[in-house]
Structure 1
Amino acid sequence: MRSMSPDVNPSFQELFGHPAQVAVHAPGRVNLIGEHTDYNGGFVLPMAIPQQTHVELRRRDDRRVRAFSANKSQAGEILEFELGAEAAGKGWLDYVQGVTHVLQREGHTLSGVELRISSEVPLGSGLSSSASLDVGLLRALRAAFSLPLDDVQLALLGQRVEVDFVGAPVGVMDPMAASIAGLGVALFLDTRHMNFERVPLPPGVDVVIINSGVAHNHSAGDYRVRRAECERAAALLGVPQLRDLPEAELARTERLPDPLGRRTRHVVTENARVLATVEALRAGDLKRLGQLFYASHDSQRLDYEVSVPEIDLLVDLAREDSDVYGARLTGGGFGGSVVMLARDGTGTAVAQRISERYAARSGQRPAILLPQPTGA
């Protein structure tokens, strides 16, 4: 285990004494709408963002994996483990261990590797930094070992890394977005059947993403509780998943014990909002898109209870801004980021003034992720 100053950001050559053989990247994502629907078999609408996770790799002749993270919060030493001896509980290295563990369990043959990882996707931002890392690692190993895996298979393996090894009960949306989504194009995904379609964003709109500065953690308790509540509600309603409850039968949720009725109402109405958003995108109906964004946020705040005061403040500031069509919490909640739709050409100014007002009123240090600041 080699330690170094956290202020040093060595290259792959400096770390390992030779150049990398493979260099790949995978994006973070913003979910335009469709929150907490993926693990209920429903619909989602994510989009890739410019921020990427970068993975450099070189094969070794033994079974040793040596990995270095250039992220400031993680940097400082090369961490190591042996293939076949992966054991959870080692922080960020668990994602590397999870990837090699899942691949080997699927029958893929690996040797040891050296890895350098760096990422522009902020941790705990609701922009899927972990799925971006999973997919980046899987892409690097696919390239290095000529693994016969397509992009959808990579995404499914990435989900299993999170669920089976890291212990975060996430749905399939995040790795699918990191694996197959694009910039400026919404990925309309049916998470049950894995059917997907790329829907272009209409002209006349800027996507704005502001990180609240309040970090979240999908492997923590609240996210697990929401998923368990959904499973309990589906069992009481006699449906396989909440996706299977028609919106016309929402009255049935009134007989569920609180908060299960409200959790169900969010999932059912959010699925409907995804479908309505796809129609509005195709029609270029920006006013309707904004209404759907605000309705989604209100549902997350009141029925699903995954928002926090800082996120609500960002959305309230967006409501007060005449250049904003709509805004909502994006990601799993309990912190993270807000996504907004602004008038064409106003995104940078909107992000700046809302961030300034938010910082003054919350005491938090927000970060503008999109539009990317000059020089980013």
Structure 2
Amino acid sequence: MKSPQTDAPRFESLFGQPPKVQVRAPGRVNLIGEHTDYNGGFVLPMAIPQHTEVHLSPREGRTVRAFSANLGAQGQVNEYELGQEKRGRGWLDYVQGVTHVLRAEGHTPGGFDLWLSSDVPVGSGLSSSAALEVALLRGLREAFGLSLDDVRIALLGQKVECDFVGAPVGVMDQMASSLADTGAALFLDTRSLKYERVPLPTQVEPIVINSGVTHSHSGGDYRVRRAECERAAKLLGVEQLRDLPDAELPRALALPEPLGRRVRHVLTENARVLQTVRALREGDLAALGPLLYASHASQRDDYEVSVPEIDLLVELGRAEPDVLGARLTGGGFGGSVVMLARTGTGASAASRIATQYAEKSHHQATVLVPEPSSGR
């Protein structure tokens, strides 16, 4: 991604003043632990090189002026007044949501000029919205001296999506964007918010491939899955599925379809996260692949969030001798896959997979990790 200084002259040309703050926040890929966060479970994301950048300067009054460089020639400066945020303005809703939530939490930033640019693909399952929220919250923290730590920023970002945008997401995406890095996985207990950075063994490297099939967390399918989990938990007499002992799975499987399978995914996925963390700590490469493939099969069959294009990418990964494992990452219904490959082989394996995918599907895959420009 270009350096933050690249857009500074454009910011000044557009707004008549230089940016006071230039910050960024990464997208994320989830190695394992899908649809467990809103069930109080465990997740294992890590940051990706792609970021959202924020250039920001305070201005007099209560007007916010915002511009998205990603819209190119079609972009225009959008305005709204603090305290008068209203949904229904596309990408601007995430900006409005941030100031709305801050005000509700007792923080009162003034008006500001904002330039956004991002190379996190929208709808790719890599948390483009969380990267925007966290980057903007970081920028406002710096510009207005707000008392917010990194965990609080993540929680506020989640509130933006749930309370303003209307996407009932868990906390994983914002916690990863706020706390994770590209060198280690973030082992997170989404109930207690306790976290630990777990380095990947030096013998493996991640691959992330965007399928070109987009998804949306504010859409119906994601909401349905969350509602199914909440209904199952109520029928089973627990607050969240995290609270259900593994020994109770037979009782869960007696629930009306498809609730039992949804529960089975959550319970087994939580266990797979813990097993993956153990394998990473011990450098047990042989254990990693089966865990990723089992996670994908569970998402495909029990949780029913995969699509044929994602399944194809996983199978193409399985055919690569240097790919240890592959799975759908993110909310599903499109998006991206994550794979673990032997170090030094990821770029070539990903290139072959993308080529074969284009030949076998009607979509173009984009290799995001390893970065094509990295020379690996």
**TM-score, with length taken from structure 1:** 0.96
Q: Does 1:306 align with 2:305?
A: yes
Distance 1:210 1:74, change over 3 A: farther
Separation of aligned partners in 1, 2:8 and 2:366: 22
Shift of 1:252: 1.1
Separation of aligned partners in 2, 1:298 and 1:22: 44
Shift of 1:14: 1.5
Separation of aligned partners in 2, 1:292 and 1:331: 16
Match in the other structure for 1:269: 268
Q: How many residues align?
A: 369
Match in the other structure for 1:280: 279
2:264 is paired with a residue whose SS is helix
Contact 1:53–1:119, Cα closer than 8 Å, also in 2: yes
Shift of 1:31: 0.3
* Mapping 1:1-376, distance limit 5 Å: 11-72=10-71, 75-374=74-373
Separation of aligned partners in 2, 1:324 and 1:110: 48
Separation of aligned partners in 1, 2:301 and 2:76: 44
Distance 1:223 1:32, change over 3 A: same
Shift of 1:73: 7.0
Identity of aligned residues (%): 69
Runs of 4+ with deviation above 4 angstroms: none
1:185-212 CA-to-partner distances (Å, cap 9, x unmatched) read: 0000000011101100011112000000
Distance 1:375 1:181, change over 3 A: closer
Separation of aligned partners in 2, 1:79 and 1:206: 41
1:24-68 CA-to-partner distances (Å, cap 9, x unmatched) read: 000000000000000000000000011110000010111000000
Letter in 2 for 1:195: K
Contact 1:35–1:44, Cα closer than 8 Å, also in 2: yes
Contact 1:69–1:75, Cα closer than 8 Å, also in 2: no
Contact 2:9–2:18, Cα closer than 8 Å, also in 1: no
**What are the ranges of 5 or more consecutive residues in structure 2 without an aligned counterpart?**
1-6
1:77 is paired with a residue whose SS is coil
Letter in 2 for 1:218: H
Separation of aligned partners in 2, 1:65 and 1:162: 19
Shift of 1:9: 11
Separation of aligned partners in 2, 1:298 and 1:210: 18
Separation of aligned partners in 1, 2:73 and 2:82: 22
1:72 is paired with a residue whose SS is helix
Contact 1:68–1:75, Cα closer than 8 Å, also in 2: no
1:213 is paired with a residue whose SS is coil
Shift of 1:118: 0.2
Letter in 2 for 1:97: Q
Separation of aligned partners in 2, 1:372 and 1:157: 30
Letter in 2 for 1:184: G
Shift of 1:248: 2.3
Distance 1:248 1:96, change over 3 A: same
Contact 1:68–1:79, Cα closer than 8 Å, also in 2: yes
Q: Which moved more, 1:242-251 or 1:216-225?
A: 242-251
CA RMSD of aligned residues (A): 1.4
Distance 1:358 1:301, change over 3 A: same
Separation of aligned partners in 2, 1:329 and 1:73: 31
Contact 1:9–1:70, Cα closer than 8 Å, also in 2: no
